[in-house]
Structures are given as structure tokens and as C-alpha cells.
């Protein structure tokens, strides 16, 4: 489902700050896999996720998602295919929008969006039900 083949990324190449963050990373994940990546500070965990999300181009290697080579696909186009929760809670959410509006945006990921009413009553009820399970009083 998600495959990284020989992915390489060096930051600030050819300078004193050169950092080889990914040196030929191979990973193959199948649908339904739940994976925890463990590594010390600076090991390259975030760099790996950024490579998958397309934050910047990788130097070498290929990234395949559901059989599609997305290596050259820009981040905003990959966003239709990939959901991401950021380490920094201020990233990936719109703080000036209601929580249900944020959830509605997430629900429509990858589907066509037009100028229509944003949230249906059924969706609103679904959000409330799902949020209840977190027991955070939301």
C-alpha cells in the first residue's frame, strides 16, 4: 500500500551543516498495518514522514502509494491521498474555524468540494458521537 524504495535525503549538502537524514530507506507497508517508528532525537523519523507527505523533493528513491508513483507529486496533490496528524497541534488545523468545521474539512479529504452548505445535520451528529468517545468533554 505504501512503499519507500531507496529514499535518500541530505539537508544542506556540501556545507558544514550537511546532514544525511535518510540514507537509502526501504519500507513496505500493507493496508491495515499499524506501525510505530522508534528512534532517538534526530534519527530521521520526521524526515521520513515529510518525505511521504511531499514537504520537499527527495534526492533519490521512489515513493509508491496504492500502486501509484507519487515521488514527483507536490504536497498539495498528495494531500488528497494522505491524512496526517502533526506533532505540533497548531499545524494541520485551522484555529479560526470551529472544531466541527475542521472535522468537516478532514471528512472531505480527497473528494470534490464546491460552494455548498458545509456541514449536514447527520455529520454534526456523527462528529458529536465520535468526539464523545474521547471523553474530553468536547
Ligand X SMILES: Nc1ncnc2c1ncn2[C@@H]1O[C@H](COP(=O)(O)OP(=O)(O)O)[C@@H](O)[C@H]1O
Using CB under 6 A, count the residues that bind ligand X: 12
10 or 46: CB nearest Mg ion: 46
- CB of 8 or CB of 45, closer to ligand X: 45
Strand order in the sheet with 19-29: 19-29, 2-11, 60-65, 68-69
Question: Which residue lies nearer to ligand X by CB, 15 or 96?
Answer: 15
Cα separation, 113 vs 116, in Å, equals 8
Burial status of residue 40 (CB atoms within 10 A of its CB: 0-12, 13-18, 19 or more): exposed
Give the cell for residue 1.
Answer: 500500500
> Residue 55 binds which entry of Mg ion, ligand X, none, with Cβ cut-offs from 5 to 8 Å by kind?
none
45 touches ligand X by CB under 6 A: yes
Find the shortest distance in angstroms from Cβ 43 to ligand X.
4
Cell of 90: 497548531
Say how far apart CA 12 and CA 57 lie, in whole Å. 13
Which entry of ligand X, Mg ion, none binds 39, CB below 5 to 8 A by partner kind? ligand X
Coil, helix or strand at residue 99:
helix
Binding piece for Mg ion, criterion CB under 5 A, among 27-35, 39-47, 76-84, 88-96: 39-47
Q: Which is nearer to Mg ion, 88 or 129 (CB)?
A: 88
Cα R_g (the chain), whole angstroms: 18
Shortest CB 120 distance to ligand X, Å: 38
Task: Choose which of 24, 39, 74, 92 interacts with ligand X (CB under 6 A).
Answer: 39
Amino acid at each position: 500500500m505504501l512503499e519507500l524504495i531507496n529514499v535518500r535525503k541530505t539537508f544542506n549538502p556540501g556545507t558544514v551543516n550537511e546532514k544525511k537524514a535518510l540514507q537509502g530507506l526501504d519500507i513496505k507497508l500493507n493496508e491495515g498495518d499499524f506501525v510505530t517508528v522508534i528512534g532517538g532525537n534526530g534519527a530521521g523519523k520526521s524526515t521520513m514522514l515529510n518525505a511521504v507527505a511531499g514537504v520537499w523533493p527527495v534526492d533519490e528513491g521512489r515513493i509508491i502509494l496504492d500502486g501509484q508513483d507519487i515521488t514527483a507529486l507536490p504536497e498539495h496533490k498528495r494531500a488528497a491521498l494522505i491524512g496526517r496528524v502533526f506533532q505540533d497541534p497548531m499545524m494541520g488545523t485551522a484555529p479560526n474555524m470551529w472544531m466541527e468545521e475542521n472535522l468537516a474539512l478532514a471528512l472531505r479529504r480527497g473528494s470534490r468540494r464546491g460552494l455548498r452548505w458545509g456541514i449536514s445535520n447527520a455529520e454534526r451528529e456523527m462528529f458529536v458521537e465520535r468526539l464523545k468517545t474521547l471523553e474530553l468533554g468536547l
